[in-house]
């Protein structure tokens, strides 16, 4: 009874959840196949891929709905990872790695669940603060603001050594995550992104990024919607950072800087920034492609001949794939479509 | 001189022009009239090569479908577009210089500029003024003069009266009449039916992307039925 | 007093380097709306050309400098022809990602075929000398940098105001289709824009290599990031804005380096970019950009 009421009031919800499951399907299938092989190194690679799905879907919430490019989403990945790390590392370990941490953090250790909740709160607060600044401007100026944010945040990570250890690795984080658990998290994030995309807010925001003047004429509060997308995106990205930290156990600010920014942005635009399925497709194609070529880099044996090591080959191929992808499909592989749009085309709404 | 047959212009699933055939002979002024959304500007854009189109476009009996916009201009087709589109950041003189960019012979440029200034003395007075600060009528004059700078054999005027005061429209049409008298072949696209039919030799009436009537301009002007049926006036 | 003058020259030298790069970015952006993140790789191509020539034994500066600049111009033209022409009418994000692709490709090509590690290029080390101008001790390199940038900028202004192609480029920034409608070839306008951006980046590359004394695959990234920022401070797509933004960025950087207490040195970038963010939030259209309201008619 309630559910029919619900779906009548929010007709998009059912579609978004079912479509979200379909969006997650390719990732699920690849990961299940890998788990079935039982190869540990492949599971580790798959885990990195699932983290990338969470981050790129998080990025899609921002770029796909508000338009424009973001260079700062990995800041929230880093904040998420560092926040849970600093909060959950055991006290005796902290004496070793951050003995002089401010705010009494050196003597504090939370359970992972509590650490995640506090970390989400911290990310939300920081996202509101940065978001309020970013949504004041639009277009290319907003893109540059995110670039500034990335550089400022990275400098702080590097400079504030008593808390973040600067350029040294932060280790000793509890490692309890598994690939199936990460998959569940990624599916939740995908469905969340789909719900936002298909909700009236998401539709209004996407429309406004196409024509701001028209949206304002329809009294759409674009600023508030952009802020909402920014915060949701930051939360999703930070979740990516958290599941990364709880699996790998060791993090380093350098690994969240520009190369990671460009890699994830490339994944999203190649897949198609206007759809969540595009985010998933982009991650899958680039992750698998890079792994295949990385094997070549290490001097593989082909037909009995040992090839020389070719460092830079995977980057070369990545660049070529991006250029080719953009030339052949300028709107990304998925364009504005989700998987379910292809299988079950949407009927124009008549009511 | 120009012959279009079965022209189709589509924007995605929307057909803007549905199989239009049209001919303009040398020395003639032909009007293309019709209400808003009839497909007039789409036809012009297809002629200029700025939108993809199907059908045959022959200029001097040679197909130009596959030529780029630039090459069509170089063949002697000049378009004076809707909304004038003068180069707002450049001066009047610089606009004219750019108009002559397709002319390989630089020595004739000075002479052509003088010709334009003779034709439009108002522009001569404002030669070093930035085009964005000209009035609407002056911008229209500049747009026509800029089109003439390429020494066209075929001039397309798209809505030259758009957004201008009636008094200025009179002046612009006087200039068009002068151009016609000098032997220029003109295709005139207009919503101002009375003005267009008064100046043209022949006319085509377009509605919803298809041809609805054609004939001598004087005959069409005398046939109130056509006018009221397709042009609402 | 000497110290102040030296720092001003320092700021002007850095600023004019940013201005050269920013002008190149702005000229391409103004005409085809492309945010060319591969601009840095044009610098890298110029720099590696120097290295390759030295390795081949052609180390005379008189030969190395013009050929490095030429290689940068050719590199920019090749980027346009191969990568950017097919996405010319695509959305901004497509062009930007294509540029990322070019950038990644070129960096990794140098990494693969030459080395991931920095290589020394000392042929221009002779420019790093101090000269006395009256009572002032100045760096020859900085004087040259400022002088060359001034000459090049003047040349660019002359080109844009006096030549038909230059006028066409200014016109194309507002209405590209109309430029084609007067019979000017789109390919020629765009190739010229890329050629100019390559020329400016090539000249900047010479100075960058002279100062660093070495080359590496990702050496173009930071300078272009700063040039990009300079463009935005000045008003993206505005050429005077790019020049002014570049100079201003030079002054901000040198000013912060001089004024910041030693122990805060690690925060230089953070403060520079926080200042830039502040400028952007208060003047999103940039210092020289026009304040356009939505729905405004072009003037």
pLDDT tens digits for range A72-95 = 999 999 999 999 999 998 888 888
Indicate if the pLDDT at residue A155 is higher than 80.
Answer: yes
Cβ <8 Å between C167 and B94 = yes
Q: What is residue A305's predicted lDDT score, i.e. its pLDDT?
A: 60
DSSP B11: E
Output A301 or A225, whichever has higher pLDDT: A225
Residue located via tokens 């390795």: C55
Name the pLDDT band for A208 (thresholds 50, 70, 90). confident
Continuous H helices in C163-238: 164-174, 176-181, 186-212, 221-234
Within chain B, strands assigned E span 2-11, 14-24, 29-33, 54-59, 62-63, 77-80, 154-158, 185-190, 202-207, 210-216
Torsions phi, psi for C295 (to 5 deg): 85, 0
Within B34-191, strands assigned E span 54-59, 62-63, 77-80, 154-158, 185-190
* Residue at A324 is within a domain: no
Continuous H helices in chain A: 2-9, 11-37, 40-66, 73-88, 91-97, 112-134, 140-159, 161-164, 179-198, 200-210, 212-217, 222-248, 258-271, 276-297, 313-328, 339-343
* Residue at A60 is within a domain: yes
- Contact flag for B and A (3+ C-beta pairs < 8 Å): no
Summarised one tens digit per residue, pLDDT across range C71-112 is 999 999 999 999 999 888 887 778 888 898 899 899 989 988
Q: What is the DSSP string of B180-223?
A: HHTT-EEEEEES-HHHHHHH-SEEEEEETTEEEEEEEHHHHHH-
Residue in A145, A216, A322 closest to C104 by CB: A322
Q: Report the C-alpha gap between C16 and C8 in whole angstroms.
A: 12
Sheet of B154-158, strands arranged across = B77-80, B154-158, B185-190, B29-33, B202-207, B210-216
Note whether C266 contacts A: Cβ–Cβ < 8 A: yes
Instruction: Please compute the mean of the pLDDT values over residues A41-62 and round it to a whole number.
Output: 92
| Least confidently predicted of A108-122, A175-189, A240-254, C268-282 | C268-282
Residue in C173, C182, C299 closest to B73 by CB: C182
Summarised one tens digit per residue, pLDDT across range A214-236 is 777 776 788 889 999 999 999 99
Indicate if the pLDDT at residue B162 is higher than 60.
Answer: yes
Please state, rounded to an integer, the average pLDDT across all residues of chain A: 84
SS3 percent helix, strand, coil of chain B, rounded to 5, is 40, 25, 30
Query: What is the β-pairing status of strands B185-190 and B154-158?
Result: parallel
How many independent structural domains does chain A possess? 1
* Residue at A203 is within a domain: yes
* Residue at A302 is within a domain: no
Sign of CA dihedral A271, A277, A281, A284: positive
Indicate if the pLDDT at residue C270 is higher than 80.
Answer: yes
Q: For residues A241 and A79, is the Cβ–Cβ distance under 8 A?
A: yes
Q: What is residue C72's predicted lDDT score, i.e. its pLDDT?
A: 97
Domain with A110, as residue range(s), is: 8-255
* Residue at C160 is within a domain: yes
Distance from CA of C271 to the nearest CA of A (A): 7
Q: What is residue C297's predicted lDDT score, i.e. its pLDDT?
A: 46
Name the pLDDT band for C1 (thresholds 50, 70, 90). low
Instruction: Please compute the mean of the pLDDT values over residues A282-307 and round it to a whole number.
Output: 75
Name the pLDDT band for C236 (thresholds 50, 70, 90). confident
Q: Report the C-alpha gap between C267 and C256 in whole angstroms.
A: 10
Note whether C104 contacts A: Cβ–Cβ < 8 A: yes
Q: Report the C-alpha gap between B142 and B80 in whole angstroms.
A: 10
Of the candidates C100, C23, C92, C48, which has an alpha carbon nearest to the alpha carbon of residue C212? C48
Residue located via tokens 């004041």: A136
Note whether B152 contacts C: Cβ–Cβ < 8 A: no
Residue in B98, B133, B149 closest to C167 by CB: B98
Residue in B101, B132, B133 closest to C182 by CB: B101
Interface of C with B (CB under 8 A): 164, 167-168, 170-171, 173-175, 177-186, 298-299
The ipTM value here is 0.89
Q: Report the C-alpha gap between C185 and C190 in whole angstroms.
A: 9
User: Which pair of tokens denotes residue C277?
Assistant: 């963010």
Strand partners, A292: none
Query: What is the β-pairing status of strands B54-59 and B29-33?
Result: unpaired
Indicate if the pLDDT at residue A237 is higher than 50.
Answer: yes
Q: What is residue A306's predicted lDDT score, i.e. its pLDDT?
A: 59
Query: What is the β-pairing status of strands B77-80 and B154-158?
Result: parallel
Read off the pTM: 0.84
Residue in C104, C116, C280 closest to A311 by CB: C116
Q: What is residue C15's predicted lDDT score, i.e. its pLDDT?
A: 94
Name the pLDDT band for C203 (thresholds 50, 70, 90). very high
Distance from CA of A61 to the nearest CA of C (A): 16
Distance from CA of A64 to the nearest CA of C (A): 11
Q: For residues A171 and A94, is the Cβ–Cβ distance under 8 A?
A: no
Cβ <8 Å between C168 and B90 = no
Strand partners, B17: B9
How many independent structural domains does chain C possess? 1
Cβ <8 Å between A330 and C276 = no
Disruptive mutation site among B72, B87, B94, B99 for chain C (greatest number of C CBs within 10 Å): B87
Domain with C53, as residue range(s), is: 2-218
* Residue at C287 is within a domain: no
Q: What is residue B58's predicted lDDT score, i.e. its pLDDT?
A: 93
Indicate if the pLDDT at residue B136 is higher than 50.
Answer: yes
* Residue at C274 is within a domain: no
Summarised one tens digit per residue, pLDDT across range C103-144 is 989 998 998 888 888 888 887 777 778 888 777 778 888 899
Q: What is residue A301's predicted lDDT score, i.e. its pLDDT?
A: 59
Name the pLDDT band for B144 (thresholds 50, 70, 90). very high
Indicate if the pLDDT at residue A299 is higher than 70.
Answer: no
* Residue A86: partners with Cβ closer than 8 Å, 6 or more residues away: A98, A101, A105, A163, A170
Distance from CA of A260 to the nearest CA of C (A): 13
Name the pLDDT band for C26 (thresholds 50, 70, 90). very high
Please state, rounded to an integer, the average pLDDT across all residues of chain C: 88
- Among chain B residues, CA nearest to C186: B70
Per-position b or e across A145-155, b if 16+ CB within 10 A of its CB: bbbbbbbbbbb
Q: Report the C-alpha gap between A180 and B179 in whole angstroms.
A: 78
What H or E segment, with its residue span, contains residue C275? helix C268-282
- Among chain A residues, CA nearest to C289: A141
Name the pLDDT band for C3 (thresholds 50, 70, 90). confident
Other Cβ atoms closer than 10 A to C170 = 19
Cβ <8 Å between C294 and A216 = yes
């Amino acid at each position: 009874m309630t559910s029919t009421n619900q779906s009548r009031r929010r007709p998009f919800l059912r579609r978004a959840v079912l479509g979200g499951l379909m969006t997650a399907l390719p990732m699920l299938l690849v990961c299940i196949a890998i788990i079935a092989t039982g190869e540990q190194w492949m599971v580790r690679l798959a885990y990195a891929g699932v983290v990338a799905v969470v981050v790129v879907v998080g990025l899609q919430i921002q770029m796909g709905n508000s338009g424009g490019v973001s260079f700062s989403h990995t800041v929230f990945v880093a904040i998420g990872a560092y926040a849970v790390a600093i909060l959950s590392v055991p006290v005796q370990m902290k004496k070793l790695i951050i003995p002089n941490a401010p705010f009494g953090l050196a003597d504090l250790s939370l359970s992972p669940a509590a650490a995640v909740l506090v970390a989400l709160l911290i990310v939300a607060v920081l996202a509101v603060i940065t978001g309020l600044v970013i949504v004041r401007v639009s277009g290319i100026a907003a893109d540059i603001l995110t670039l500034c944010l990335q550089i400022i945040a990275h400098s702080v990570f590097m400079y504030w050594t008593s808390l973040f250890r600067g350029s040294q690795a932060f280790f000793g984080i509890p490692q309890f995550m598994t690939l199936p658990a990460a998959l569940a998290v990624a599916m939740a994030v995908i469905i969340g992104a789909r719900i936002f995309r298909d909700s009236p807010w998401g539709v209004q925001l996407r429309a406004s990024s196409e024509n701001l003047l028209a949206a304002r004429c329809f009294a759409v509060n674009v600023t508030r919607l952009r802020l909402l997308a920014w915060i949701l995106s930051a939360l999703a990205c930070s979740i990516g950072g958290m599941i990364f930290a709880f699996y790998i156990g060791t993090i380093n600010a350098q690994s969240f800087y520009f190369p990671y920014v460009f890699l994830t942005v490339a994944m999203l635009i190649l897949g198609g920034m206007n759809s969540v399925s595009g985010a998933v497709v982009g991650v899958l194609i680039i992750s698998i492609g890079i792994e295949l070529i990385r094997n070549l880099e290490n001097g593989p044996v082909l037909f009995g001949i040992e090839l020389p090591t070719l460092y830079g080959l995977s980057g070369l191929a990545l660049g070529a794939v991006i250029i080719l992808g953009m030339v052949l499909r300028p709107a990304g592989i998925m364009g504005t479509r989700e998987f379910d749009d292809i299988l079950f085309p949407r009927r124009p709404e008549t009511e | 001189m120009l012959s279009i047959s079965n022209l189709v212009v589509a924007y995605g699933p929307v057909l803007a022009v549905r199989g239009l055939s049209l001919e303009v002979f040398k020395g003639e002024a032909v009007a293309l009239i019709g209400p808003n959304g009839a497909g007039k500007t789409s036809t012009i854009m297809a002629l200029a090569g700025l939108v993809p189109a199907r059908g045959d476009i022959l200029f001097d009996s040679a197909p130009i479908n596959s030529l780029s916009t630039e090459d069509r201009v170089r063949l002697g087709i000049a378009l004076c577009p809707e909304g004038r589109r003068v180069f707002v950041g450049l001066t009047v003189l610089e606009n004219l210089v750019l108009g002559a960019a397709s002319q390989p012979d630089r020595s004739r440029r000075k002479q052509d500029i003088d010709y334009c200034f003779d034709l439009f003395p108002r522009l001569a007075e404002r030669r070093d003024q930035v085009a964005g600060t000209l009035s609407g009528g002056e911008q229209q004059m500049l747009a026509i003069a800029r089109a003439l700078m390429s020494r066209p054999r075929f001039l397309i005027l798209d809505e030259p009266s758009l957004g201008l005061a009636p008094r200025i429209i009179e002046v612009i049409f006087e200039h068009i009449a002068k151009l016609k008298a000098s032997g220029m072949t003109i295709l005139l696209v207009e919503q101002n039916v009375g003005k267009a039919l008064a100046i043209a030799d022949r006319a085509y009436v377009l509605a919803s992307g298809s041809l609805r009537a054609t004939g001598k301009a004087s005959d069409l002007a005398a046939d109130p039925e056509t006018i009221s049926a397709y042009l609402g006036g | 007093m000497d110290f102040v003058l030296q720092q001003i020259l320092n700021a002007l030298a850095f600023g004019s380097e940013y201005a050269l790069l920013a002008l190149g970015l702005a000229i391409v952006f103004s005409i085809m709306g492309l945010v060319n993140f591969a601009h840095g790789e044009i610098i890298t191509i110029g720099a590696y050309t120097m290295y390759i020539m030295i390795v081949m034994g052609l180390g005379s500066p008189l030969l190395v400098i013009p050929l490095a600049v030429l290689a940068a111009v050719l590199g920019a033209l090749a980027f346009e022809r191969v990568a950017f022409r097919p996405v010319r009418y695509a959305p901004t994000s497509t062009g930007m990602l294509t540029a990322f692709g070019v950038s990644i490709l070129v960096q990794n090509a140098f990494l693969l075929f030459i080395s991931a590690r920095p290589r020394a290029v000392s042929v221009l080390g002779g420019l790093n000398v101090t000269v006395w101008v009256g009572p002032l001790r100045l760096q020859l390199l900085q004087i040259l940098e400022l002088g060359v940038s001034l000459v090049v900028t003047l040349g660019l202004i002359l080109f844009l105001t006096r030549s038909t192609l230059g006028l066409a480029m200014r016109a194309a920034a507002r209405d590209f289709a109309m430029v084609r409608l007067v019979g000017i070839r789109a390919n020629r306008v765009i190739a010229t824009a890329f050629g100019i951006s390559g020329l400016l980046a090539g000249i900047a590359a010479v100075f960058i290599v002279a100062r660093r004394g070495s080359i590496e695959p990702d050496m173009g990234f930071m300078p272009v990031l700063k040039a990009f920022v300079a463009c935005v401070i000045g008003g993206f797509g505005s050429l005077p804005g790019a020049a002014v933004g570049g100079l201003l960025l030079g002054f901000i950087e040198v000013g912060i380096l001089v004024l910041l207490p030693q122990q805060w040195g690690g925060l230089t970038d953070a403060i520079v970019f926080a200042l830039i963010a502040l400028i952007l939030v208060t003047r999103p259209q940039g210092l020289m950009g026009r304040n356009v309201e939505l729905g405004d008619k072009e003037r």
